């Protein structure tokens, strides 16, 4: 009888393993379909342009992603798949860490644990979206997870008296330094480290030694390029994130900002994961490794979430800024999603969100399909067509420079044309202002891609900064008989900076 029960359980587990592998392949196929068919999003092109203008750091973010994109460009050239190549490298890194944790958290059934973890991770809309597009977040995720992994291994070795514990502390510091070189919010992982030192007695003893402080100094020293750039540019990036970007609304408490932040965070992480998270918080760890990981990941989750919640009240905060709060939790949630119904609710929800995301950027914007408008998505369609119109206009009306009125559209147009010197022509502040500051633009003519109305402040700005401004073309981007977006081309002569 026991052999029959064992055989029956083995068949169920094999069936689940196969289903999970198919599910992971489906998610990966959706990612690949997106890469092959979606034009570059505005920020994807923008960060690519950073890589073509190497610097110590940049106005919006630290420099690591740009440096890596420059290396990719040397290998692949100006290719859409090349831009997104790193997202696959970082995904492999995430899965590698999951596999390492699987062997520690489920030594008797590591395969099943790994495939559950991979499927849970991919089914979170937050992680699927933010690591599919070539934003800085995919680097932040893998490097934050690597930092967490190294710190937990350090804690495990130190508390058990195993050799070479301290080297893992310094590995964690280096990974943390790289995470913060990807995005500023990597600092929340560092605060999680600090909290773990305080919360675990055996680590607390180490605070009387130089090693925690040297490790912290190492992570800080790695920020030297960012610090140097900011010192050279009047703390421009720091001022932007702490003050300038918020405008006149900063400082006024708005509870709805916090409510919006929480709702978006929950829905896009996946509401199904709330119950497993509560179970994790209330649980007693069954393994020492899990206990040590739990301390760090919950500390990071609490610090990041509370800090951003407080920031959201007077300033507003985007849900994806809190992505590091969830990174370390993902491998631990497997034990608390032992109910197949809960797991598959999460998988189905995530699959629907992933399919909707891919559809809306590759086929038709979902808002337009539903009878509304979705300019934020539609603006990313048809950049090869747009570049074709610009080339034709340039052939009949040659100008000294080509540009657009936003940092995002300037970057998308530059990528589509294969040029790194497209200019941003508007009062909008961005990294382009630093690139263009010393260029001899005065008196030059420009072909300008415009999507603003005649009465807009941007058109008024263009009229002020060119002696003459005349429209030379107008066209629509359409898909399946639907108009998605309208563009115009203007020729400006004798630019006045």
Give residues with Cβ within 8 angstroms of 312, minimum separation 6.
Answer: 257, 258, 260, 261
How far, in Å, CA of 173 to CA of 217, rounded? Answer: 9
254 CB burial (10 A radius; 0-12, 13-18, 19+) = middle
How far, in Å, CA of 204 to CA of 403, rounded? Answer: 56
State the Cα angle at 32 between 149 and 324, rounded to 5°: 30
CATH number given to 377-495: 3.40.47
371 CB burial (10 A radius; 0-12, 13-18, 19+) = exposed
Q: What are the pLDDT digits (tens) for 62-104? A: 999 999 999 999 999 999 999 999 999 999 999 999 999 999 9
Tell me the β-bridge partners of 402.
Answer: 447
- Quick one: pLDDT at residue 405? 97
Q: Domain residues of the chain, as ranges?
A: 21-362, 377-495
User: Can you give the C-alpha Rg of the chain in angstroms?
Assistant: 25
- Quick one: pLDDT at residue 7? 60
Q: What are the pLDDT digits (tens) for 363-407? A: 999 999 988 889 999 999 999 999 999 999 999 999 999 999 999
How far, in Å, CA of 333 to CA of 341, rounded? Answer: 15
CB atoms within 10 A of CB 213: 11
**Between 12 and 128, residue with greater pLDDT:** 128
- Quick one: pLDDT at residue 240? 86
How far, in Å, CA of 441 to CA of 438, rounded? Answer: 9
Q: What are the pLDDT digits (tens) for 246-301? A: 665 555 788 998 999 999 999 999 999 999 999 999 999 988 999 999 999 999 99
How far, in Å, CA of 387 to CA of 80, rounded? Answer: 15
Q: What are the pLDDT digits (tens) for 21-73? A: 999 999 999 999 999 999 999 999 999 999 999 999 999 999 999 999 999 99
- pLDDT grade for 1, boundaries at 50, 70 and 90: very low
Assess contact for 377 and 367: CB atoms under 8 A: yes
Q: Does the pLDDT value for residue 112 go beyond 60?
A: yes
Q: What are the pLDDT digits (tens) for 475-488? A: 999 999 999 999 99
As a whole number, the mean pLDDT across the chain is 94
Assess contact for 205 and 187: CB atoms under 8 A: no
HEC readout, 378-419: HCCCCHHHHHHHHHHHHHHCCCCEEEECCHHHHHHHHHHHCC
């Amino acid at each position: 009888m026991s052999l029959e029960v064992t055989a029956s359980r083995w068949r169920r587990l094999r069936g689940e393993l196969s289903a999970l592998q198919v599910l992971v392949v489906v998610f990966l196929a959706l990612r690949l379909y997106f890469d092959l068919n979606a034009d570059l999003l505005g920020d994807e092109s923008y960060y690519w342009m950073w890589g073509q203008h190497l610097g110590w750091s940049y106005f919006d973010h630290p420099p690591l992603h740009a440096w890596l994109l420059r290396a990719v460009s040397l290998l692949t050239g100006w290719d859409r798949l090349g831009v997104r190549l790193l997202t696959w490298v970082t995904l492999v890194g995430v899965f590698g860490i999951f596999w390492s944790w699987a062997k520690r958290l489920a030594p008797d059934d590591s395969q099943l644990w790994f495939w559950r973890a991979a499927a849970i991770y991919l089914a979170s809309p937050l992680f699927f979206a933010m690591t599919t597009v070539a934003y800085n977040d995919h680097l932040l995720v893998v490097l934050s997870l690597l930092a967490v992994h190294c710190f937990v291994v350090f804690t495990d070795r130190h508390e058990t008296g195993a050799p070479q514990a301290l080297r893992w502390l310094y590995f964690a510091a280096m990974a943390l330094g790289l995470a913060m070189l990807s995005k500023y919010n990597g600092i929340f992982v560092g605060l999680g480290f600090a909290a773990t030192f305080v919360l675990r007695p055996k680590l607390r003893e180490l605070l009387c030694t130089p090693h925690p402080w040297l490790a912290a100094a190492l992570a800080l020293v790695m920020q030297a390029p960012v610090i140097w750039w900011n010192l050279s540019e009047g703390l421009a990036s720091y001022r932007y994130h702490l003050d300038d970007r918020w405008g006149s609304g900063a400082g006024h408490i708005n509870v709805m900002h916090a409510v919006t932040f929480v709702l978006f965070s929950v829905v896009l992480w996946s509401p199904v994961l709330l119950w497993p998270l509560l179970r994790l918080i209330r649980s007693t760890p069954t393994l020492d490794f899990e206990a040590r990981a739990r301390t760090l990941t919950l500390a990071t989750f609490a610090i990041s979430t509370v800090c951003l919640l407080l920031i959201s009240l007077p300033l507003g905060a985007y849900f994806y800024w809190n992505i590091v709060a969830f990174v370390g939790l993902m491998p631990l949630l497997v034990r608390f999603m032992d109910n197949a119904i809960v797991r598959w609710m999460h998988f189905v929800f995530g699959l629907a969100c992933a399919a909707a995301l891919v559809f809306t950027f590759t086929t038709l914007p979902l808002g337009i399909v539903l009878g509304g408008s979705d300019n934020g998505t539609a603006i990313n369609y048809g950049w090869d067509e747009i570049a074709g119109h610009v080339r034709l206009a340039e052939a009949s009306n040659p100008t000294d420079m080509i540009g657009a009125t936003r940092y995002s559209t300037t970057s998308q147009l530059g990528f589509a044309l294969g040029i790194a010197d497209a200019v941003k022509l508007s009062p909008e502040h961005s990294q382009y202002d630093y690139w263009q500051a010393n260029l001899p633009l005065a008196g030059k003519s420009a072909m300008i891609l415009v999507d603003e109305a005649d009465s807009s402040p941007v058109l008024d700005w263009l009229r002020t900064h060119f002696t003459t401004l005349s429209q030379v073309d107008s066209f629509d981007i359409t898909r399946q008989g639907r108009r998605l977006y309208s563009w115009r081309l203007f020729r400006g002569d004798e630019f006045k900076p």
